[in-house]
A and B are shown apart, each in its own frame.
Chain A
Amino acid sequence: MLSIKNLQVSVEDKPILKGLNLEVKAGEIHAIMGPNGSGKSTLAHVLSGREGYRVDAGTAYYKGLNLLEMAPEIRAREGMFLAFQYPIEIPGVNNTSFLKKALNEIRKHNGEEELDAIDFLSLIKKQMNLVEMKENLLRRPVNQGFSGGEKKRNEILQMAVLNPTLAILDETDSGLDIDALRIVAGGVNKLRSADNAFVVITHYQRLLDYIVPDFVHVLSDGQIIKSGTKELALELEERGYDWLVDKAETQA
């Protein structure tokens, strides 16, 4: 589904990703862990098409499409979704009408009929129960005045409504209390199917108790320096990153 080869990306002439490889197949959940500043969010942003990044080398294909040449909205319409590490506030844009517009753009792209207000409302009500979000948040402008946890839940609500094929969750667990964590993980698990895939960026092994990954990767200094199964996460929790980073440096 997603195939990244030797991806090298710089920001303002500073190399951030330094030859990253990643293969994600339908039905899989991949966790990416790694120290602060190692390039995890950069990877998520480049994959979703944010401006300001220069691709110096490498390729990224999604469903056989050359991802790096596509406008961000086309990537989204093709089923990609990024849950932002820091969801921004958009004053004046109503949460519900924004999400309805987004869903209908995606449906149009896929040759499906647009949902009218009534059908959309029943869909969104259903998905709100999934993430146990308060209804009044729907009537507010996107994320405006939301607490940190509410913003993260709103990301998951959007994901649940847009039902992506490939979802990248960038530290969606940070800032969530234990209950919220369980709810967010429950949302992911309900959406999970043989046809979609998740890339879950996190610092905490705890999340992976709820969302059980098929693979765990360690991203350090712009490269994946180790991949393994969920046991790797436990080991990282115990030993930190130093032993891996030192090893990678000696190898280099």
Chain B
Amino acid sequence: MNETRKLAQPEATPETQPFWDAAREGKLLIKRCGGCGEAHYPPRAICPFCHSADTAWEKSKGAGSVYSFSIMRRSPTGPYTIAYVQLDEGPRMLTNIIDADPDSLAIGGRVCLTFTETGGDAPPVPMFRPAPQAS
């Protein structure tokens, strides 16, 4: 599944270098605006909401819930799940859900962050897996 699906390797830009440096340390960064207080994703230098240049990196707790998802059944390397995960900090991010029985997934389900290597010298990418059941 994700072991065999070849993942596109992300390339950092001067704008996003801190994001990918943090990814190598297993941390998911989002941006928060000093002007309007809103968090956004993917990170930009200029806030997409109020257009202030006063944006700062913030470490996400890496917890969230599934906003929507779809299981691609016709992939040569096996089914995989694309999703929007809503981080507890607010932003909904495009990602994959791994280590899950696809048929057990549901909108609203709790998930937690897990980084997946993309090979070579490229940074890993932020994916999610079902959160351990609270009992």
Q: Do A and B come from one complex?
A: no
Report A's interface with B, CB cutoff 8 A: none
Report B's interface with A, CB cutoff 8 A: none
